[in-house]
Amino acid sequence: MVGGLALGSEIKRFARNRMTRIAVVVLMLMPLTYGALYLWAYSDPFGHVNKMPVALVNSDRGTTVSGEPMNVGSQIADSLTSDASLDWHLVGDAEAREGVAHGKYYFMLELPPDFSEAIASPTTGNPRKAQLIAEYNDANNYISSSIGRTALEQVLNAVSTRISGQAVNQVLSVITTSGTGIKQAADGARQLSDGAAQIDTGAGKLASGLDSARNGSAELTAGSRKLSDGINTATDPLLKITNLLAQIGTQSDQVNGQVQDSSSALTDASNELDTIAGAQDTAAQSLTSIIDSLSANQDPVSVIATGKLRDTRDQLLAHQRTAAIQAKLDKARAAANSGGPVGSALTDISAKGKELSDKLTQLRDGAQQVASGNAQLDAGIVKLDDGARQLKSGTAQLSSGANELATKLSEGAQKVPDWSPQQKDAIADTIGGPVQLTSSHENSAPNFATGMAPFFLTLALFFGAMLLWMAFRPLQNRAIAAEISPLRVTLASYLPAVLIGIPQAVILYCVVHFALHVHAEHPVAMLGFMMLASCAFIAVAQAISALLGPVLGKVLLMTLLMLQLVSAGGLYPVETTTKPFQAFHRLDPMTYGVNGLRQLILGGIDGRLWQALIFMVALWLGSMLLTSLAARRNQLWNLTRLVPSFKM
């Protein structure tokens, strides 16, 4: 009971002065350092991968598809740089490889020279997948390579989505059906060529027939003019006779003489009518011959010409009335020569003469119309003949053009690929997943343990150094009291700790190498670097403990351990951490321990190893100097040193 009621006395001990009160606050905050600090540093590492510098190389030279240039590499490069899912740097191949090798870039992605050609290869019947070439360097950061593989898988999916399997099937369908259509068009063009040849032959026959019709039409026109002139000549005496007959009733004294004259005139008219009848028969026969010649050709132009000629012949036959006129003349002449009672028949003769005059007038008019119609027909046939010649020339060109079209279409149809179902399936599969990722690793870690060994080995060495000064005093009071040099005082405490620290490094190396099978590219150098790092870390821990005292020194070392853990870039790339830890990264001793061990374990030694060596030596020398200054300071004793307010 008394012990339980006395707990306030222990609390009061920490409230005696400022240092003890600070110690209480530090003790309260220590869990926060290990809990919240880590969560703050790695609050969202995968959400900040866009800050990781990555090299992008576009070597695609492009290609031509259907006469149009295509460069898919440029499209992909523009898409990636604008997307900003990573911190893409569009650089040349040599710069990219050098940057990956020396840690400027975590990894690189290359679009090879034949990238566009591979994308377009399915249209050639020889499909192949396009390649995305990735190169990682585990010596930069093992987890960054894992992040890069995940990121590039997403890039691969994004690129493949541009050409889906459904689109490929549609393209293939268009290509194959276009071949069928071209073949059908070629067959149609061949039929067109044959038809054009037949039209050309018919046009030749039409032109030949129209030549004959043109010649016959000219003869017909000349004959119809002669016929019209002959009818006019023949009917002139008849018209005179009819006029005289009309005057018989009023000129009775001259009847006998006129009758006698009429008889002679009627005889002459009869002879002329015989001549006219012969001319009409000749003209009708010529028209019939031309009509028969044109009727044999079923061409539309010949049919039209035949109809026109048939109408002309019908008009000519319609005006052939010479037989009726001849009969009336014979009757009149018989009456004049009979010696019968002429006087009693004069009235009848006058009427018949009037009727005969009308018929003769109709005959003259009809002959004139026939002559005019034949002239128009001749002009039309001349134009028709010229048009037929032009048609003959045009159909010859049509036949030649159609034949050339059929030839070109046949050649085009032969160029259209005739793929088998197996080829179509292979092409569809290729374009359905048109891109594949080819990866290569520089300084590849065979497993997670090897990849993360640089970080955990460095952490273990610093932790071991910190533990040493929990057992050893950073400065020996006896040596200080002996007033020896500060450097000797420093070494008096440092060397015993190093004699344990170096075995720590050796034992750690042996367990990792032989038991855990983490095989380094440079094992001897790795062991030597671990021993150097242990010596440097022991010196740092000694300097902090000597300057701040055992209590505050231990607290600061534990805080520094956690701060180094999240700032060294041993787990996630330092670019994915928050800004304060990125700033501390270059000052973090563990940063150089991790970098040096990565070079020696995974390979790919470059300037980072020499930086790590120089930093460790400088850290060791600087820490020894600070410890010596603390030893010199401690040569003066004060009350705080004699009676420390807080012991740990």
- CA pair distance 381, 214, nearest whole angstrom: 6
- 325-329, 415-419, 640-644: range with lowest mean pLDDT: 640-644
For residues 453 and 410, membership in a common domain is answered with no
For residues 263 and 156, membership in a common domain is answered with no
- CA pair distance 380, 210, nearest whole angstrom: 11
Burial class from Cβ neighbours inside 10 Å (0-12, 13-18, 19+) for residue 139 reads: buried
In a domain, 175, yes or no: no
Cβ atoms of residues 350 and 245 within 8 Å: yes
CATH number at residue 59: 3.40.1710.10
Task: Spell out the alpha helix ranges (H) of 568-606.
Answer: 579-585, 589-602
Q: Is the pLDDT of residue 567 over 70?
A: yes
Summarize pLDDT for 251-293 with one digit per residue, the tens: 544 555 555 566 566 666 666 666 666 666 776 676 677 677 6
Phi, psi (5° rounding) for residue 228?
-65, -40
Q: Please state, for a pLDDT cut of 90, what percent of the chain lies above it.
A: 32
Provide mean pLDDT across the span 79-85. Answer: 86
Per mean pLDDT, which of 57-66, 77-86, 300-309, 453-462 is the most reliable? 453-462
Q: Which residues have a Cβ under 8 Å from the Cβ of 476 and sit 6 or more positions away? A: 489, 492, 493
For residues 631 and 577, membership in a common domain is answered with yes
- CA pair distance 169, 341, nearest whole angstrom: 114
Among the listed residues 52, 165, 56, 73, the one whose alpha carbon sits nearest the alpha carbon of residue 118: 73
For residues 138 and 208, membership in a common domain is answered with no
For residues 125 and 269, membership in a common domain is answered with no
For residues 251 and 329, membership in a common domain is answered with yes
Q: 22: pLDDT confidence band, cut at 50, 70 and 90?
A: confident
Q: Which residues have a Cβ under 8 Å from the Cβ of 22 and sit 6 or more positions away? A: none
Instruction: Provide the whole-model pTM.
Output: 0.61
Predicted pLDDT at 477: 80
- 113-122, 216-225, 273-282: range with lowest mean pLDDT: 216-225
Predicted pLDDT at 63: 87
Provide mean pLDDT across the span 189-206. Answer: 60
Summarize pLDDT for 140-173 with one digit per residue, the tens: 999 999 999 988 888 888 777 765 553 454 455 4
For residues 102 and 221, membership in a common domain is answered with no
Pick 555 or 14 by higher pLDDT. 555
For residues 474 and 591, membership in a common domain is answered with yes
For residues 438 and 459, membership in a common domain is answered with no
- CA pair distance 378, 213, nearest whole angstrom: 9
- 22-31, 388-397, 523-532, 569-578: range with lowest mean pLDDT: 388-397
Predicted pLDDT at 252: 46
Pairing of strands 53-58, 87-90: parallel
Residue positions counted in the chain:
648
For residues 456 and 520, membership in a common domain is answered with yes
Predicted pLDDT at 531: 98
583 DSSP β-pair partners = none
The domain in which residue 619 lies consists of 446-642
In a domain, 7, yes or no: no
Q: Is the pLDDT of residue 365 over 50?
A: yes
For residues 468 and 617, membership in a common domain is answered with yes
Pick 361 or 5 by higher pLDDT. 361
Domains of the chain: total = 3
Q: Is the pLDDT of residue 7 over 60?
A: no
For residues 230 and 364, membership in a common domain is answered with yes
In a domain, 505, yes or no: yes
Q: Is the pLDDT of residue 612 over 90?
A: yes
Whole-Å CA distances, 113 to 97, 127, 437: 16, 17, 15
In a domain, 73, yes or no: yes
Average pLDDT, the chain: 76
Summarize pLDDT for 501-512 with one digit per residue, the tens: 999 999 999 999
